[in-house]
Structure formats: C-alpha cells, structure tokens
Chains A and B, each alone.
Chain A
Amino acid sequence: MEDIDAIAALQDPVRRRLYEYVAAQGREVGRNEAAEAAGVARTLAAFHLDRLADAGLLESGSRRLTGRSGPGAGRPAKVYVRARAERAVSLPARDYRTAAELLAEAAEEAGLDAGLRAAARSRGERLRDAREPCADLEQAMEILAARGYEPHLEDAAGESAEETADAAAGEDPARVVRMRNCPFHAVAERFPPLVCGMNLALLEGLLGADAGGAVRARLDARPGACCVVVEPAAPSKNNIH
C-alpha cells in the first residue's frame, strides 16, 4: 500500500484513536482493551483494528492474553502492535532523508562529532527558548512527548513504572524516563555513535540538563528504543558523589 493510502486510513476518528492507543502502549494490545480505550464497542474496534492491519499501520497476531479479567482471558486472542515501517508523505515531494544520510556520511568520514554535538546542543537550547531548565521528570515527559520521543516512566531498575505512576506522583528518585521512539531512526542505525551523540546533545540543550537543571540525560542504549535515558540530576538514594 502506498504511504498516502496508509495515512489516509487514519482519517476516521475512531480508527485514529485506536491506532494512537495501540502505538502508545509499546506492547501487544487485545481487542477488548483497545475498544475500551477508544470508547467504542468491541465489534467496531475489531473492524477498525483489522483495517489498520490491512493498511500496514498495525501488525496483528494471536496471543494468549493473561488479562486480569474478562471472559476471554486465557484463550488465544487477536492482538495488535504498531508496525515498524515508517510512513511519510511530502507534498510537494521532498527528500530530507537522503540529504540527512549524505550529511551524516560526510560528518562521519570527516570526524565531525564534536561540531555536530555543539550544533545540536545549541539547537536544543534554542528550542527551549529561554525557558528555565526542566524542573522534573514530569516536565521532561511533556517536552519529549511534544518532540515525538514517546517517553514513559520506568523504575530505574528497568521495570515499567506505569502501575505505580498514579500512587507516587513524580517524586520517586528511583524512576527514569525512557523513550520508545527514535526520531532519527534511519540515520541513527547507519551512524550510531555520531547520531546518538547528536541526539544526546540535542536533548541536553532541550532539557537544560547541562545548565544546572533538575534532570540529566545520558546515553544508555537498548535494542529497539531511544539511546538516551533521562533521570533526576541528583538522586537522593545511594548518593555516592
């Protein structure tokens, strides 16, 4: 399917809500859960989820859900995740991707890591636009979400903090922000040290992380996610330094 057709499939508001919900979870989502989140009947949700899969925006499979409730728990059910393929439409046709790849290739060969990072840091600062450095992880989440990083809170140990997020609002120093999406994915895969270093510098500028702010960013790469983790600048727990 052409990108423009796939994107056009999101015009239906219910379908778009379903897509955005599934995409935001970063895991397999069943029909009941998606229907509930979108506020529609299960049959309608199932229809639209399958249309999204047909359009290549979601991938579907069967999985035994171990849900906490529901009559379907324990039986194989149809589940959906966001498809990995990128979709883009530009009118008129533009090709910034090729330009980015060529510039990155030249920067890599010339060893321009430091210059690129300086440019990225000052771009981040300009995007922050003279606002105060980021005050806490909650604010960092908002800033990162606005730039498409798809942030989520995790316990520093690596467990998802979603279930405890409501209980302790934002003051737990053992929590960190990780990001599901790399906005520079295609070039980051080709030139990881160069582009991930650029990304870190951009985020440091954006969050004010190196300007005495309350959060800091550092590289902590993991498969399938953004290379950066954002954490409190001075963890009070086990504070060695």
Chain B
Amino acid sequence: MTAPTPAPTPAPAPGPGPLHLAEFNVATLRHPLDDPRMAPFVELLDPINAMADGTPGFVWRLVEDGAPDATGMRPAGDDVIVNFSVWETQEALWDFTYRSGHLEVLRRRREWFERHVRAHLVLWWIPAGHVPTVAEALERLAHLHAHGPSPRAFTFASSYTAAEAAQAESAAVQGKGRGGAPAQSSRAAAWRPAAAAARK
C-alpha cells in the first residue's frame, strides 16, 4: 500500500479544518473473480489502482492486509466487491472516476456487474486525516438508501459541499437532546465538474 496513512482521529469532529471526500461503492459480481469472463476486469485492477494512487487529489484507498487491493474483502455480501477511497476534492474524484482510464472499466460494467436497483455509490465529507472504516461506509450507504441524499450521505448527481456538510453536522450536534432531526441545509444544485459549471 503506497497511500499515506495519517493518524486516525477517533471521533470526526465538525468545525474548522479541511474536509476530504470519502467515496464508497459496491458492485455485485456477475461471475466469481477467477472466472475467465472476469479476466479482463481483473487485469485492469492493478493498473487502474496504480493510476488512482498517482492521481492529484488522491488521499487513501482501502487495501486488504497482504493484498494489492480490497477485492478479497466482502463486507457487503459474498458476491459484492467494494471500492473505498478518500479524495481531497470532489473534482479530483470526478476526474479520476469519469475522465481517466477508469471510464473504460465503467463502460464495460454490464459485462462484469449486476445492475443495482438502489444507489451503489455514496459520498460523504470527513475531517482530513481521518481514516474511515468499512462500518462507517456501510452506515452511510444505508443512510442514503433510507433517507435519500443528504449532507451525511450523497451522490454525484445530488451532492453537498464540504461547507454544507459541516453546517449540517454542527446543527445536528446542537439539536441533540431536543430529539430534533439533523437540520437539512438548503439543497445544493447538483454538483457538476468545473468545466460544466459555467454552462447556463
């Protein structure tokens, strides 16, 4: 694992300090990874992961002990592989996901993965330096499924800025004890890459 491993902070505390974007997604395999039909995907794992590690804005990705990646970890089901990473900005994650060699993997997704009826990707902001856990990721995905996009758990198409997430988090902390639900900030317009932001 080549990624930096900053000291984990025990409790993500809202407040000043930069936030990073955590990304977690699940993919249900159509065939076991050692099936010949999955070979083209498996061959892409190392080069694509190496490319991610070298992408500006990349912070961290989940790697199983003694393995080059996390495909052997199956926290969401025996036939479900997970992808878990942290990025400095949403734009860096977007450009890697959709504007790099990774797009070719996504283009061929139907050959290798089942279609998901529910959201299969969740994004959320974390304090820079915090190493998120798989349990945390599963909780965020469940939150997205249960409540739809919110500052706690969102998607590319329905995203929240780091500032909105911090604001919602501090409102939730203040609201605790009063039994109030986390105050939802005004919904941001769907996040778009900078290249599209200027579009009318």
A residues sitting closer than 8 Å to B (CB atoms) are 3, 83-86, 110-111, 113-114, 185-186, 189-190, 192-193, 196-197, 200, 218-224, 227
Contacts and interface: CB of A to CB of B under 8 A. Distances in A.
B180 interface: no
27 contacts: A84-B196, A84-B198, A84-B199, A85-B198, A86-B199, A110-B115, A113-B109, A113-B110, A114-B110, A185-B199, A186-B196, A189-B195, A190-B157, A192-B106, A196-B98, A200-B107, A219-B104, A219-B107, A221-B99, A221-B100, A221-B101, A221-B103, A222-B99, A222-B100, A223-B99, A223-B195, A227-B103
Interface residues of B, number: 21
Contacts of A218: 104
A186 B199 contact: yes
A193 B100 CA distance: 12
A193 B199 contact: no
A38 B53 CA distance: 46
B192 interface: yes
Closest 3 CB pairs of A and B: A193-B106, A111-B115, A84-B198
Contacts of A222: 99-100
Nearest to A219: B104
B8 interface: no
Contacts of A224: 99, 195
Given A190-B157, A192-B103, A111 B98 contact: no
B164 interface: no
Given A111-B110, A185-B196, A224-B99, 4 more contacts: A86-B200, A189-B192, A193-B103, A221-B100
A220 B110 contact: no
Contact of B103 (A83, A85, A219): A219
A1 B95 CA distance: 31
B98 A192 contact: yes
Interface in B75-129: 95, 97-101, 103-104, 106-107, 109-110, 115
Contacts of B97: 192
A85 B200 contact: yes
B18 interface: no
Nearest to B197: A84
Given A193-B107, A193-B109, A85 B199 contact: yes
A102 to B, nearest CB: 14
A12 B183 CA distance: 54
Contacts of A192: 97-98, 103, 106
A200 B106 CA distance: 13
B193 interface: yes
